[in-house]
Every structure is written in C-alpha cells, then in structure tokens.
Amino acid sequence: MTVYKALTIAGSDSGGGAGIQADLKTFQELGVFGMSAITAVTAQNTLGVQGVYPLSAEAVAAQIESVAVDLGVDALKTGMLFSADIIRTVAEQVKKHGWERLVVDPVMIAKGGAPLLQEEAVAALKEALLPLAFVITPNIPEAEVLTGIAIRTMDDRREAARLLHRMGARYVVIKGGHDDDGEETVDLLYNGSEFSYFKSKRIDTRHTHGTGCTFAAAVAAELAKGRHPVDAVGTAKSFVQAAISHSLGIGQGHGPTNHWAYRQYGE
Ligand SMILES: Nc1ncnc2c1ncn2[C@@H]1O[C@H](COP(=O)(O)OP(=O)(O)O)[C@@H](O)[C@H]1O
Ligand SMILES: Cc1ncc(COP(=O)(O)O)c(N)n1
C-alpha cells in the first residue's frame, strides 16, 4: 500500500475549526497521512481569538526537520506563519529539502479581525515564500494586500492573479468567498496562461470558520497523491462545499465546517 504524506506548517486553533486541526482532519478525510509543524498556538473559539502565542523560528525548523529526515513529505501547505522570522525559516527548509508541491495559504487575519500575521512579515512572505509556491490560495483581501490591486470585479481578480504568477507562484487560486454578490462562489485559478473557474452555490451561513485552511489542505492532500493542481483544486472546492453545506452548528459564533461531510454525503 502506498501511503501518501502531507505536512502542514500552521497555527493551532484550540477550537478545532481552522489551522492545524482543520488541516489534519482534511488530510485524514482524503486518505493522506497528516503531519504538522506548529508555528503558533492560538486560544481561539467560534467567537474569536483570545490569545496568540508564537513559537520561535528554531522550534518551527526543528519540527520540520524531524519530519523531513524520517517520514518524508509528498506535499505540504503553510497557513498562519505569524512572523518574518518564521517565514524565512520555512522558506529555507522548503529549499533545503527540495520540496516542490508547496501550497501557500497566505493567512493574514482571522474572520473576526484578529491579526495572524505581523504587518512587517508581508514583505518576507512576498520575497521568500511566494516564489516557492506551487499553488498559492489567497482570499480576496489577501490578494489585495499581496498585489496592491483593489479587487472589485472579476477583471481585477484576473489582473491580481497575473501579478501573483509574475511574483513567482506557479498556480494562483484567488478564492471567492468574500465576493458576496450573487448566487455563486467562484474560485479563480490561473496557470500562467489560462484561467479556470470553480463555481458552487453560495451557502447562506455564518459557519465558515476555517474554510480557507480546509480548502488549501485539501489541495495539498490531492497534490500529495500526485494529482494535477487543476484536479486538486476541483476536489478541494467540492470538499469545502460539502463541509459548509453540512455544517455542525456548534459554538456560539462563527462555527466550524464539517470535515467528514464529503466522505459521508459526497459533494
Ligand atoms: N458562503 C459560501 N458558500 C459556498 N462556498 C464558500 C462560501 N464561503 C466560502 N466558500 C468557499 O470556501 C473556500 C474559502 O473561501 P474564502 O472565504 O474566500 O477564503 P478564506 O476562508 O481564506 O477567507 C473557497 O473555496 C470558497 O469558494
Ligand atoms: C490558527 C489559525 N489559522 C488560520 C485561521 C484562518 O481561518 P479561516 O480559514 O477561517 O480564514 C485561523 N482562524 N486560525
């Protein structure tokens, strides 16, 4: 039996809906062995982020190194990286181990508004990590910060995707969850020459905590199996759609999605 292995480098969400917890659940559901390097511990629930406790860059490097020298990594994803120091360390590790199937989810701000990336770390993200990304998965506000383009229309989104590709990411997905006009959510994918669109019915719900993490983790899981990025994004879109459609209704605020819905109910 071939065991596919994926590594997430991200923050811990004590509430279990986003971050490392969402990533590992998603890897497991998609039949991939999940491993983790924690960058920061957050005290968090569906109401918001109550505390952020970053780890040192050295502690992050040590976790990645332990996984690399023994288990091996078929694909990896990054989420909350918090500081420029951690970003540079992660970039060095990715280069050192020659990992190509890297999904960068440029997490900046939690849905409730708490910062998960220091402002001064955005430059490091652009310079050190973005050029190593096989797939980058910003939401609209993150794509705006990375490119400086104000995104109002699909044309603006395509322009931002072209720029992110020029900045070094091989495949660019600009997710459409924040574009709440209309009946559909559309995720845009750019491969450097063509655009593809992944559409689904927009679900009217406040239970979307962790959708971005879940989406990027599903892309990484499918890449770990050797699938093409376009197919990986297609599966990720279906996975997240099922997870939002069958949400669990737990917590008093923005609840988590249902990570077992795709397996239990299909798309
Ligand atoms: N209300 C919704 N209905 C259906 N899909 C959604 C909804 N909100 C987000 N999504 C999907 O969830 C994923 C994450 O989207 P987005 O909200 O843009 O990112 P983030 O969680 O990083 O802010 C995307 O695939 C997007 O299409
Ligand atoms: C530790 C951690 N990482 C990432 C997110 C972003 O979550 P979302 O997917 O809802 O944008 C979060 N809230 N907490």
User: Residue 206 CA: which ligand is closest?
Assistant: 1
**Does 66 fall in a domain?**
yes
What pLDDT does residue 17 have?
A: 98
pLDDT digit string, tens, across residues 69-78: 999 999 999 9
Which range of residues forms the domain containing residue 94? 3-256
Residue owning tokens 């845009």 = 188
Q: What are phi and psi of 171, to 5 degrees?
A: -125, 135
Q: Are 94 and 25 in contact (CB under 8 A)?
A: no
Measured in Å, residue 2 CA sits from the centre of ligand 2 at: 31
User: Residue 237 CA: which ligand is closest?
Assistant: 1
**Does 249 fall in a domain?**
yes
Count structural domains, the chain. Answer: 1
pLDDT below 50 — which residues of the chain?
Answer: none
Name, in order, each residue with C-beta under 8 angstroms of 250's C-beta and a sequence gap of 6 or more. 46, 256
Locate the DSSP E strands across 63-206: 75-78, 102-104, 135-136, 171-174, 184-190, 195-201
95 has which bridge partners? none
**Does 267 fall in a domain?**
no
Most informative mutation of 49, 111, 247 for ligand 2 (most atoms within 8 A of CB):
111
DSSP 114-143: -BSB-GGGHHHIIIIIGGG-SEE---HHHH
Closest atom of ligand 2 to 13 CA is 1
Which helix (H) or strand (E) segment holds residue 9: the answer is strand 5-13
What pLDDT does residue 266 have?
A: 85
What CATH number is attached to the domain comprising 207? 3.40.1190.20
Q: Are 81 and 57 in contact (CB under 8 A)?
A: no
Q: Is the predicted ipTM greater than 0.85, yes or no? A: yes
Question: Residues lining ligand 1, judged by CB closer than 6 Å?
Answer: 139, 175-178, 185, 187, 200, 202-203, 208, 211-212, 215, 237, 240-241, 244
What pLDDT does residue 112 have?
A: 81
The mean pLDDT of the chain is 97
Measured in Å, residue 248 CA sits from the centre of ligand 2 at: 17
**Does 266 fall in a domain?**
no
**Does 45 fall in a domain?**
yes
**Does 217 fall in a domain?**
yes
Question: Residues lining ligand 2, judged by CB closer than 6 Å?
Answer: 10-11, 13, 18-19, 42, 44, 79-80, 107, 110-111, 116, 209-213
**Does 187 fall in a domain?**
yes
**Does 261 fall in a domain?**
no
Q: Which residues are catalytic?
A: 175, 208, 210-213
What pLDDT does residue 111 have?
A: 83
Residue owning tokens 């890897």 = 27
Q: Which of 15, 63, 11 is nearest to 39 (CA)?
A: 11
Measured in Å, residue 114 CA sits from the centre of ligand 2 at: 10
User: Residue 205 CA: which ligand is closest?
Assistant: 1
Radius of gyration (C-alpha) of the chain in whole angstroms: 17
Measured in Å, residue 175 CA sits from the centre of ligand 1 at: 7
Name, in order, each residue with C-beta under 8 angstroms of 86's C-beta and a sequence gap of 6 or more. 39, 54, 55, 57, 60, 121
